[in-house]
Amino acid sequence: MDIGFIGLGNMGFHMARRLTEAGHKLTVYDTRAEAIARLTARGAAAASSPRDVADRTETVLASLPTPDIVLAVATGKDGVIEGRKVRRFVDTSTTGSRMAIRIAEALAARNIVQLDSPVSGGVSGAEKGTLAVMVAGPRAEFDLLREMLGVIGKVFFIGEKPGMGQTMKLCNNMLSATAVAASSEAVVMGVKAGLDPQVMIDVINSGSGRNTATEAKFTRAILPRTFDFGFTNALMYKDLRLCLEEAEALGVPMWVGSAVRQMFQLSATQNGPDQDLTTLIQCIERWAGVEVRGKGVNQ
C-alpha cells in the first residue's frame, strides 16, 4: 500500500519505520530534515509539505504533538486538505474528540475521510509494534486499513462516530497518569519510613497494587534515576487537560483526575515541560526530603 506519513518524532519514526519494513511504500514529511533523512535512508520518499504528501498518496497518517498542529497540518495552507490524491487521513495523535470532529467535518467537505486513531504504548510500543491502536471512523475504511495498522500494534474498532477514538485514548491516559502520581506518593512514603524501594515495587507487583507505573515506569526509569520513559510532562498535562475538558462537557465529575492534572502541571513547572513524565516523583521527593533510588545507583 502507498502511504503518506507526517510527523517523524519519537513515536512517528518507529511507526513509519515498521510500515516501511513491512513492505509498504512510504512518502514522509517532517519539519526537520534530519527526521526525514532517517526514513529516506530506509527507502521512504521525501515530501516537501503535508500537501505534497497528500498529492502523492491516498492514505495519509499523522503523528503530531498538539491539537493545533494537527489542525494546521490537516486543514491549513499547504495542508492535507489541499492534496489532489488523498482519500483518507488517519490521525494517530491525541487531539481530543472536539478537535477530531472539527477536522473530520472540514475534510469531509473535500471528500476526505478522517479516522481518528490515537495510539497508546509509548515509544517502546511503537518500536516493537505493540501499540494499542484505537480507531474511529467508517467501518468500511477501518476494514480496508486494518491489516496495515496491524503492523504498528493491536487494532481496536471503537466506533463510527468521529472523536470516539480520542475519547478512548483520553480515558486510558487519565488512568496511566493517575497510576504514576499515586504510585509515586506511595513509594516516597515507604522510602521516608525506611523501606527499600525495590522491595516495595516487587511486593506491589505481586499484589493488588500493581499497575503500569510500578510494572514499567519505576523499573525502567525511576529506580535507575534515568527518567527517560519517553513521554514528556507537557504531553501528559495536555492529555489530562483535554480529558477534563471533555468530562466537563459531558457532565462527568473527575475529582481524582483534577488532582492528577495539577500534579503534572506542577512537574512541568518545577522539572520542565520537556522532561519525562516520570520526573513527577521528584516533586514529591523534594517535599519529603528523600529520593527513590535503586540499589547500586550512584547519587
Tell me which residues are annotated as active site.
169
| 130, 216 contact by CB (below 8 A) | no
% helix / strand / coil in the chain, to the nearest 5? 55, 15, 30
Cell representation of residue 204:
506491589
**Inter-residue contact 13 to 42 (CB < 8 Å):** no
Handedness of CA 187, 190, 196, 199 (dihedral sign): negative
Q: If 0-12 CB within 10 Å is exposed, 13-18 middle and 19+ buried, where does residue 139 land?
A: exposed
Cell numbers for 153: 500494534
Judge residue 41's burial from the number of C-beta atoms within 10 Å of its C-beta, 0-12 exposed, 13-18 middle, 19 or more buried.
exposed
Cell of 47: 515530501
How many Cβ atoms sit within 10 Å of the Cβ of residue 103? Answer: 26
- Residue 199: what residue type? V
Nearest to 295 by CA among 160, 159, 204, 200: 200
Separation of alpha carbons 244 and 140, rounded Å: 32
**Which residue type is seen at 236?**
M
- Secondary structure of 144-187 in the HEC alphabet? HHHHHHCCCEEEEEEECCCCHHHHHHHHHHHHHHHHHHHHHHHH
Q: Give the chain's count of helices (H) and strands (E).
A: 13, 9
